[in-house]
A and B are shown apart, each in its own frame.
Chain A
Amino acid sequence: MTAPNRLPDRLLPLQAAILEQINAHHIDVPMLPEVAGKVVRLTQDVDSDASELATLIQSDQTLAAHVMRIANSALYSPNSSLVSLQQASARLGMKLISEIALAASINSSLFNTPGYEEHIQYEIRCSLMTGLWAKEIARVSRRNVEAAFITGLLHAIGRPIAVQTALKVAAESNTTLDTAEVLALEDKFQRQIGVQVVEQWEMPRLVVDVVRFFDCYNDAGAARNQTMIAIAAEAFTHHFMSEQGDNNCISREELVSQVVLAELNLYRDEVLELLEKQDLVKSAMEAMTA
């Protein structure tokens, strides 16, 4: 779905209402499912051990099933089929499980966006792919690989909530919005809303800064490189995914000439080498969304 460049005047009152909600911190930020929050915290706690994680996963059926599915996917266990959750968590590792938990919790049911579920689903898939590409880009450019996934995954978390907010505000003022208008409002407010979401979810400072400075990485200070990685990762994602189908993906040439890649000092051949990781990213994606 594409949005028009300029919002029609009739949306001005809606805009004002959304802005007021943002400024008053009245945006309905969904609760990060408890288990996801706990997993993220556990994996960041140097004192925690594997058994605590296993116990936690066992306490959440959906997550447990998800972990088993991924552990049994071709990417992580080409030859065997695992039946023990303990073994599955051992195979995947703390960090990957925290990534799975976070990615799994951010699903379309988290948001109240009637009529836009497919769109939100698409965006969530994009974010996941961005997180996976961010890791590969960080690896090649020797930057923080650990933070790359989570910053990539959450860089656009404001989008679904912006759609949710636009729909809610429109309903409250009895305004009917067409798709283009919803998307225009989403585009306009997603960044501001995104910052509020990651702040409220108590994500690390780096994640908040990447979301905040995504459109102006030069102002991101210490988070500049990490922000550029997320932006580059999003470009890789747009090369492979478009809501309108494959024809609307950015071309290989458009991808390699992205300014941000040059800013990251990645030369053409290095970008092409990175592109060779596409199978790896795709399988990780399939495993995580199976």
Chain B
Amino acid sequence: MSNNNQYDMLIVGSGPAGQKAALHAAQSGSRVALIEKTRELGGSCVHRGTIPSKTLRENALRVKNMRMNAELANFELPEDVELATLINRLNDVLLAHDTYMRRQLERSSVELIHGRARFISSTEIEVITVAGEKFSLTGECIVIACGSHPHHPDNIAIDHEHLFDSDSVLSMMYLPKSLIVLGGGVIASEYASIFQALGVEVTMIDKYPLPLGFLDSDLTETFVNGFKHMGGTWLGETVVTRAYWNGFDAVIAETEDGRQIKGEKLLCAAGRIANVKELGIENANLKLNDRGLISVDENLQTNILGIYAAGDVIGPPSLASASMEQGRRAACNALDMPPGIMHNIIPTGIYSIPELSSVGLSETQAREQYGRVLVGVARFDEIARGQISGIQNGMLKIVCDPAGKKVLGVMIVGEGATELIHIGQMALLSDARVDLFVESIFNFPTLAEAYRAAALDIVHQRKKL
């Protein structure tokens, strides 16, 4: 680190938001310090979230496919398989990622500081190192990108041994025989279906009737059916009043209606809260909103001039993809550089089994805004590629304006959804008419053909208007 402790920009947190902010600011010639409290770079995205869960998912898919092809190979996973073997490539993936990120930041002359940051004032930050040393840094501007951590409800006795959160769930030693998953959000749906695909008996419990409430119910129903088809149990409209280790052989989840649900392990995925406890934000006159998040304006600036925030710490969509863009934009705005147009058309990718993805308006949202809308649906089992690959429970849905012309949103459930969605995203970004999908020739056989089938569905409905 340089002796001079005066920087153009200080960034707290090296997750997707902080990294992109740092790179962008440094590449524009600013003197930038990136403060990260953990030894590793990359935030929860790299170490406790996206990458580990997706590494496990890859193997879960393999296991599921091997089981599905029982005629080809009579496959059964050994009973006492160690979880580490199912995320066997994780260390290599993480190491490669860490090396790449470190090099990229160093090449751009970002100063990396390992320590915990705490505001002293709105321009000064104190860093405390893991060895207990303290020093302070000042910045013309500051970007808070310190992410979030799992919320632990009071009535769920999380001990990281029998009852886990999403940070610790992959530290389990063995694949359990059964797992209770509390929650119906993205993380709960991903882990529930991944573990079910691995042969664990999963019971997913949530207070709402269906998981992933921000998606249309026909998509979530398809997901729930797929989950049940694999052997999973979905308990909607069920409130868990208490969950604990019975001290003997099981975790017990007690429900409001008097049931006791037993599992070997439990994962609590009850939302996330901003990592602000150690940040001393009051010293910078910053305030938290009523959801415990840092509020920002459309430029990602907080209520204090010169202090910006990006990523999970400002709340939804709480995605790595969105966090990166927010980080970049925060840096641009702070340094008075034009950030370019911010498209609020951000796709959501849910890496459950099967995958789900959406972009733009859902059918429900579109109806709220436009009244009557036209909706075209293509089912993957009606598409040649879907039949070949045995993808039965997939569908793609295009939502159009009342005239059946302008694309308002696309939603997909089925393997490949998170990649396929980008075709819809490009259509939305270029304000395309739905006819574009009919006029285009797609490779045959592909799942992307579903766009054409769904678009044709709309064109037919349009004729009847």
Contact = CB atoms under 8 A, between A and B. Distances in A.
Interface of A: 44-47, 49-50, 89-96, 135, 138-139, 142-147, 204, 206, 221-222, 256-257, 261-263, 265-268
Contacts of B91: 221-222
A273 B167 CA distance: 20
B160 A93 contact: no
Contact of A50 (B37, B39, B248): B248
B172 A144 contact: yes
Interface string B142-175: 0000000000000000011100000110011110
B441 interface: no
Nearest to B161: A145
B249 interface: yes
Contacts of A145: 159-161, 171
Interface string B121-132: 000000010111
Contacts of A265: 37-39, 130
Contacts of A263: 39
A147 B172 CA distance: 9
A83 B395 CA distance: 60
B293 interface: no
B80 A267 contact: no
A256 B247 contact: no
Given A142-B160, A146-B161, A267-B116, A257 B131 contact: yes
B122 to A, nearest CB: 24
A90 B174 contact: no
A147 B177 CA distance: 18
Contacts of A268: 128, 132
Contacts of A261: 130
B48 to A, nearest CB: 8
B40 to A, nearest CB: 8
Q: Determine which residue in B116, B131, B159, B264 has the highest number of CB atoms from chain A within 10 A of its CB, and name it.
A: B131
A144 B249 contact: no
Given A93-B249, A265-B38, A267-B116, A44 B132 contact: no
Majority SS of interface residues in chain A?
helix
Nearest to B81: A46
Contacts of B37: 265, 267
Interface in B211-267: 245-249, 264
A87 B79 CA distance: 28
A44 B159 contact: no
Contacts of B79: 45-47
Contacts of B39: 263, 265
Q: Determine which residue in B80, B132, B159, B167 has the highest number of CB atoms from chain A within 10 A of its CB, and name it.
A: B132
Given A91-B248, A142-B167, A267 B84 contact: no
A257 to B, nearest CB: 7
B46 to A, nearest CB: 14
B176 interface: yes
18 contacts: A46-B80, A46-B177, A50-B248, A90-B248, A94-B249, A135-B161, A139-B160, A142-B171, A145-B159, A145-B171, A146-B172, A146-B173, A222-B91, A256-B132, A265-B39, A267-B37, A267-B116, A267-B128
Nearest to A266: B130
Interface residues of B, number: 31
Given A93-B247, A146-B174, 17 more contacts: A45-B80, A46-B80, A46-B174, A92-B247, A94-B248, A142-B48, A142-B160, A142-B167, A145-B161, A146-B161, A146-B172, A204-B82, A257-B132, A265-B37, A266-B130, A267-B130, A267-B132
B159 A139 contact: yes
B248 A89 contact: yes
B151 to A, nearest CB: 15
B130 A262 contact: yes
B44 to A, nearest CB: 11
Interface in B64-92: 79-80, 82, 84, 91
Q: Determine which residue in A44, A95, A135, A263 has the highest number of CB atoms from chain B within 10 A of its CB, and name it.
A: A95
Q: Determine which residue in A50, A93, A142, A261 has the highest number of CB atoms from chain B within 10 A of its CB, and name it.
A: A142
B173 A90 contact: no
Given A266-B130, A268-B132, A91 B247 contact: yes
B131 A147 contact: no
A221 B94 CA distance: 13
Q: Which 5 A-B pairs have the closest CB atoms?
A: A146-B173, A145-B161, A262-B130, A144-B171, A142-B168
Q: Determine which residue in A96, A145, A147, A268 has the highest number of CB atoms from chain B within 10 A of its CB, and name it.
A: A145
A138 to B, nearest CB: 8
Q: Determine which residue in B91, B159, B249 has the highest number of CB atoms from chain A within 10 A of its CB, and name it.
A: B249
A267 B82 CA distance: 30
Contacts of A139: 159-161
Contacts of B248: 50, 89-94
B158 to A, nearest CB: 10
Contacts of A257: 131-132
B84 A222 contact: yes
A225 B84 CA distance: 13
B131 A262 contact: yes
A45 to B, nearest CB: 7
Contacts of B174: 44, 46, 146
B412 to A, nearest CB: 34
A263 B82 CA distance: 25
Nearest to A270: B130
A263 B171 CA distance: 18
Q: Determine which residue in A47, A144, A147, A222 has the highest number of CB atoms from chain B within 10 A of its CB, and name it.
A: A144
